[in-house]
């Protein structure tokens, strides 16, 4: 598991997927979320605008990232 730093207290899930390099662009983020391929803290999440914060773990496929504050 690798860590992804964010500046603010929270970030939208779609933005995090791009920042972490799990997807290349917003349209791809939308697709993987709609297909139920993304988990936040072990629960399937389909909302691109869901706010995730430090300590949350986001999984796509076999890659998991943990969010940390800068």
User: Residues 8-59: pLDDT tens digits?
Assistant: 889 999 999 999 999 999 999 999 999 999 999 999 999 999 999 999 999 9
Strand order in the sheet with 63-69: 2-6, 63-69, 57-60, 38-40, 43-44
* Cβ(26)–Cβ(41) below 8 Å: no
**What domains appear along the chain, each with residue ranges and CATH number?**
2-69 (3.10.290.10)
pLDDT for residue 62 is more than 90: yes
- At residue 20's C-alpha, the angle toward residues 16 and 21, to 5°, is 115
**CA gyration radius for the chain?**
11
* Cβ(68)–Cβ(10) below 8 Å: no
Predicted pLDDT at 8? 86
pLDDT band at 4, cuts 50/70/90?
A: very high
Tell me the pairing of strands 51-53 and 2-6: unpaired
Predicted pLDDT at 70? 86
């Amino acid at each position: 598991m690798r860590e992804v730093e964010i500046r603010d207290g929270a970030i939208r899930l779609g933005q995090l997927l791009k920042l972490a390099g799990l997807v290349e662009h917003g349209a791809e983020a939308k697709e993987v979320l709609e297909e139920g391929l993304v988990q936040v803290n072990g629960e399937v999440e389909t909302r691109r605008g869901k706010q995730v914060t430090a300590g949350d773990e986001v999984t796509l496929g076999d890659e998991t990232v943990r969010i940390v504050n800068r």
